[in-house]
Amino acid sequence: MYGMTHQQRTSTPFYSKAFMSDTLTATLPTREVTLAWSDALSLELDFMDDTHREFVDLLAVTELADDDTLTERFAALIEHTEDHFGGEDKWMKDTKFSSSNCHTMQHNVILEVMREGLRRGREKGDMAVMRQMAHELGIWFPQHAQTMDAALALHLRRVGYDAETGIVSAPEALPEDEIHGSGSCGDGGCA
């Protein structure tokens, strides 16, 4: 993606070499990714894993971006994340895994914060806020995937959900009512 191999994006610091001229020697800033795809992130549900893998790849490209391309890369990450979260929210609704729970609330908060970072980047040239947000997303995402998304993946497998068609092949496994907690994250009601 963007002219770099997966190996280059995830293991080689971007701009890690010094450049020299006759009058100047300078070291360019080192950029590293916070999160690389690994089996620990796999939920063994191909359509969800593919989306998550793309998120991790776009996050890496964003973290490695120079200041001239950072805003564009961060905007592309937001566009993907809107589709990513929108897809999960649809899957929850389609299978009575309530989209009114804290899973969707967390999606909404993350997107709101990302959009604010992009706004500050565009309007004020604040590259640092977008860089910090990308870094923090790399810390947040594994926890989100291994808890909230893992519960959703288990539910989707149980009901035989096909993300392409929206068809549930085991409707008898659907709950009678929506699965949800009281709407408060941390009350143990989030699945």
User: What is the residue type of 16?
Assistant: S
CA 150 to CA 41: how far, in whole Å? 9
Question: Residues in the chain with pLDDT < 70?
Answer: 1-29, 99-100, 180-191
Structure tokens at 63: 């973290």
| Contact (CB, 8 A) for 64 and 11 | no
Is 84 a domain residue? yes
Among all chains, which residue has been given the structure tokens 């992130």? 41
**Would you say the C-alpha torsion 165, 170, 171, 175 has a positive or negative sign?**
negative
Is 75 a domain residue? yes
Query: Can you give the pLDDT at residue 156?
Result: 97
Is 190 a domain residue? no
Is 73 a domain residue? yes
Give the CATH number of the domain where residue 98 resides: 1.20.120.50
Give the chain's domain count: 1
Is 178 a domain residue? no
Is 3 a domain residue? no
Is 36 a domain residue? no
Is 1 a domain residue? no
pTM assigned to the model: 0.78
Query: Can you give the pLDDT at residue 25?
Result: 53
Please give the residue range of the domain that contains residue 165.
45-173
Query: Can you give the pLDDT at residue 29?
Result: 64
Query: Can you give the pLDDT at residue 98?
Result: 72
